[in-house]
Every structure is written in C-alpha cells, then in structure tokens.
Amino acid sequence: MDQGPRSIRYPHETAPEFGVPVEVADGVMWLRLPLPMALDHVNIYALDDGDSWTLVDTGLAWPRGQAMLDAALEGPLGGKPVARVLVTHHHPDHIGLAGGFQARGAELLTTRTAYLMARMLSLDVQERPVPEALEFYRSAGAAPEVMEQRARERPFNFADVIAPLALGYTRITEGDRLRIGGRTWRVRIGHGHAPEHATLWSEDDDLILGGDQLLPSISPNLGVYPTEPGADPVADWLASCRAFQPLAREEHFVLPGHKLPFAGLPTRLEQMIENHISALDRLESHLATPAAAGDCFLPIFKRQIGGGEYGLALVEAVAHCQHLYLAGRARRVRRDDGAWLYEKK
C-alpha cells in the first residue's frame, strides 16, 4: 500500500547506485543492494567502529548482492573486517548474508525471535508444501489456479536465500543500550511486519535505524502465515506505531530498510496508522456481502493484484480480515471448499 509523502522530508533526493557506499551521517555508510523481486532493493548500513565495521542488515544471499557487498567492503570501505552484524528482523532480505559473516568470525546481534525464526525456517526445507500450508491457503480463499500451482511446485524455502546461520547469537531486547559506530543506541522493539523487529534510536543525535518498521512511503507487509495462522499482525502493528509516537520528533532522521532516508517521523507514524485504519474501514464495508480473504484485495489495496505480488497480498488480506474478526467487527463461517467467509457484523 503506497501513500504519497505529505510533510515527509528527504535530505537525499536520490538513492546511491547499487553497491556504492554513501556517507549518510558521520560514520554511517548507506549501501543499497539489489533484490530479485518487485521491491528491487534493500538498504543496509555500515557503522564505523574504527578498526572494523558493524553492518546493520545484510541483504539477500544471492550472487549479485553478495558480489556487490564484498566489492564495497574490499574497496570503498577500506578492507576493514566486519566484526558485528546487527539484524533488525528475520526476513531474508535483511538476514540473508549474516551467516556468512558469522562464519568469518563476526558476532550476530538480533532479537531472540528474529534469530529463532530465521534459523528454524532455514532448517525447514520442503520439497513440496506440507498439508498445513495447503490448508492455510485454502482457508484464505486462494484462487483455484494458485492452489493447483502451489500443490505441485517446490515452495519458497529460506534456505535458498540465506546463508546458514551458526548456532549462537547475541540477544538484544527492548531498552538495551548498544555502543556502535561512536554512538550509543537505544533498542526499541516493534511488531506486526515481523515479530520482535529491532529499531535503534541514537542517544547522541537524531539518527534512527528503522529497518522495515519505519519506512517513508510504503507500508511493509503485514501478513498471517501458516506458522501462526491465528496471529493478528495488524493489531501488533497499530500498537507498535502508537508506542513509537511519544518518542518521535520532527528532527529525527530515519535510515529505513527500503526507500530513502527521511525526516518527519511524527507525521509518518500518523500516516502508517491511518493507512491501516482506512483499509479496515473499507474492508468492513465490503464485507456487507460475505467474502473470503482472497476476494478482498480491492478494498484493502485499492487495486486488484496478481502475478508475483499475489502471495504477499493474500497473507495481508488474511491479516486484515482476521483482525476484524478478532476485534468483533466481523463474523466468519466455513465455505464448502474450506475457505473462511467473513461478514460484517
């Protein structure tokens, strides 16, 4: 879901070329790495610790991204080793290369849930979808052709796109203070896009490392997945945005996981809350006629969705329908084919 910027400000009008580090703040280098998907990039940050670097997120483990990051470290970043990798959350475009740095002696810092989710998913290699996964997509009302394709194809596996994670990591949690790159950072945890998503707020200046929790112009995916089919990530997301509001200042400079670094965080938090409240209201009106989650793309996203975006749209549609159900704003019944039909109360 895209929203145009209102009072959001972008000190850098354009992004750097893929793999070319740019100093975005004193001692903080911004690298943009490519992704082989619709969202074609991820931002990672190298923080200067003097004789080594701390990387915040790593990009996906695939040859093009790996080569660009290696070239940046060996060239523009001076050949200094990466001593620490801090991963904001468990998604593969952020933790993908962390295991490779662990193998070279780097310390991995992340939240407990991020580490355990990534390690569990990377070890759970499936050649065909398990019955629980097929049942989940059936209950979501996935299109018949999608169900047929999923049933016969090898599913997405974390192990295909992340380097093996070593056994062991350093846990970070809400309120921790970390000394990285000449600054003291306070850890603030958000939820919704990913469980226990870490953001870092500098106590020495106005910098924030926002990961995917604090993005400037797109809303990160809030999805329900077969691993936790009863989750309510929309409620988690709204609660996290509201918890950040008392901390946010206009002068904060947010370094996000995607898109451009920005200022105007108070306004952006309001936008992120309103974005989903409006989507829920549109969905509730749409459910005057019972519908499965797979039939609700238009009221949620204001457009129909297919192709490579279908899977992410489906899990987000489930999240919004399920939120209305759990909040008592909708009821649901099973359709003959196993799909949940949601209806406004």
Q: What is the pLDDT of residue 65?
A: 97
pLDDT at position 36: 94
Nearest Cα to 140, choosing from 7, 300, 329, 25? 300
Determine what percent of the chain is predicted with pLDDT higher than 90. 93
Q: List, in order, residues 6 or more apart from 139 with CB less than 8 Å away.
A: 229, 338, 339, 340
> Residue 6's pLDDT is what?
56
Label residue 105 by pLDDT band (50, 70, 90): very high
Report the pLDDT averaged over residues 59-86: 97
What is the pTM for the complete model shown? 0.95
Q: Which two tokens stand for residue 219?
A: 């809303």
CB 212 within 8 A of CB 194: yes
What Å distances lie between residue 303 and 239, 298, 299, 345, CA to CA? 26, 5, 8, 25
Q: Fold for domain 22-129+157-284?
A: Metallo-beta-lactamase; Chain A (3.60.15)
Reply yes or no on whether the pLDDT at 1 is more than 70. Answer: no
- C-alpha 188/C-alpha 199 separation (Å) is 5
Confidence of residue 4 (pLDDT cuts 50, 70, 90): very low
pLDDT tier for residue 3 given thresholds of 50, 70 and 90: very low
Given a contact cutoff of 8 angstroms between Cβ atoms, the answer to whether 8 and 264 are in contact is: yes
Predicted local confidence at residue 103, as pLDDT:
97
- Give which of 99, 109, 108, 55 is closest to 81, Cα–Cα: 55
The candidate with the shortest Cα–Cα distance to 291, out of 340, 232, 223, is: 340
pLDDT at 2 over 50: no
Q: How confident is the model at residue 7 (pLDDT cuts 50, 70, 90)?
A: confident
At residue 129's C-alpha, the angle toward residues 124 and 135, to 5°, is 115
CB 283, CB 296: distance < 8 Å? yes
Cα→Cα distances 292→259, 304, 334, Å:
32, 15, 10
* Ramachandran area for residue 99 (φ above 0: left; ψ -120 to 50: alpha; else beta): alpha
pLDDT band at 306 (very low <50, low <70, confident <90, very high): confident
The residue assigned the tokens 């947010």 is: 254
pLDDT for 12 beyond 80? yes
333 bridge partner residues: 341
Q: Percent of the chain having pLDDT more than 70?
A: 98
Domain range annotation of the chain: 22-129+157-284
As a whole number, mean pLDDT of residues 298-303 equals 94
Residue 307 pLDDT: 82
Contacts of 306 (CB under 8 A, 6+ apart): none
Mind listing the pLDDT tens digit for each residue in 310-337?
A: 999 999 999 999 999 999 999 999 999 9
More confident residue, 305 or 221: 221
In the structure encoding, which two tokens stand for residue 11, read together? 């000190």
For residue 109, the cross-strand partners are: 86, 170
